[in-house]
Chains A and B, each alone.
With several copies, the nearest count.
Chain A
Amino acid sequence: MTPHLSITDQPIDVAAALAAVQTEAAGAVNSFIGTVRNQSGGRRVRRLHYESYDSMALTQLGHVVAQAYAKWPMLEKVAVVHRKGTLALGDVAVVVAVATPHRAESFAACQFIIDTLKQVVTIWKREEYEDGTEWVAAHP
């Protein structure tokens, strides 16, 4: 099944991402929603900026989802939507949704996708605090 993958500078429609994976063939839908927290490493966050190298991000996301289909052949449908640009506190930054016939695999596949996305997908996060900004994870 063609996965629903996108990177957008518009607010993410979570309901649409969930609807994209629902099917009568799969009774289990697991989803992960990442939202902007008001703090990071003890510092108050004011807002976030995500930058994306879109073409590579979508290529790598495709690889991640292909790996998930290989690991969980029962996987029915996958949707991944990542936001870019400037986000306010509470805004949805990413949604991963997967549908499988049985529930344990829905959790495992969804967790694999978000964990691997964070390792390989070319999106960068700059946090803005009261007193400056920082590229997250850039330095050891």
Chain B
Amino acid sequence: MALKIALFGITRDIVGQPTLELPAPAPATVGALLDHLRANYPALGQLRSCAVAVNNEYAPADQALGPNDEIALIPPVAGG
């Protein structure tokens, strides 16, 4: 199962591209995805926070990920 992850703000700078495609077998949960990405991009671990959004909602670590989900990495927001 492959995943496609949208990157915003500083996460796009860290990864160096606006989206990331993970080929199967990809991480099955939000928590596993974060572990995988932090292992590959250690700078992500230095952020104040890094959440995962699934279909426009903040997702808890145990949420399962599917190939049709719209997944995004959410570094610390700073609107306003």
Contact = CB atoms under 8 A, between A and B. Distances in A.
A117 interface: yes
Of listed B6, B8, B72, residue having the most chain A CB within 10 A: B8
B75 interface: yes
B48 A122 contact: no
Interface in A26-76: 34, 50-53, 55-57, 59-60
Of listed B9, B47, B74, B80, residue having the most chain A CB within 10 A: B80
Interface range, A side: 20 to 34
Interface in B23-80: 46-48, 53, 56-58, 70, 72, 74-80
B10 A56 contact: no
Nearest to B58: A120
B13 interface: yes
A97 to B, nearest CB: 14
Contacts of B75: 124, 135, 138
B76 A138 contact: yes
A118 B78 CA distance: 6
Contacts of B57: 56, 59
Interface in A88-140: 93-94, 103, 114, 117-126, 135-140
Given A51-B8, A55-B56, 10 more contacts: A34-B80, A53-B6, A53-B53, A59-B56, A120-B58, A124-B8, A126-B9, A138-B10, A138-B48, A139-B46
B79 A137 contact: no
Given A55-B56, A135-B13, A137-B48, A120 B77 contact: yes
Of listed B58, B77, B78, residue having the most chain A CB within 10 A: B77
A5 B6 CA distance: 23
Nearest to A94: B80
B80 A114 contact: yes
Contacts of B70: 55
A124 B53 contact: no
B41 to A, nearest CB: 14
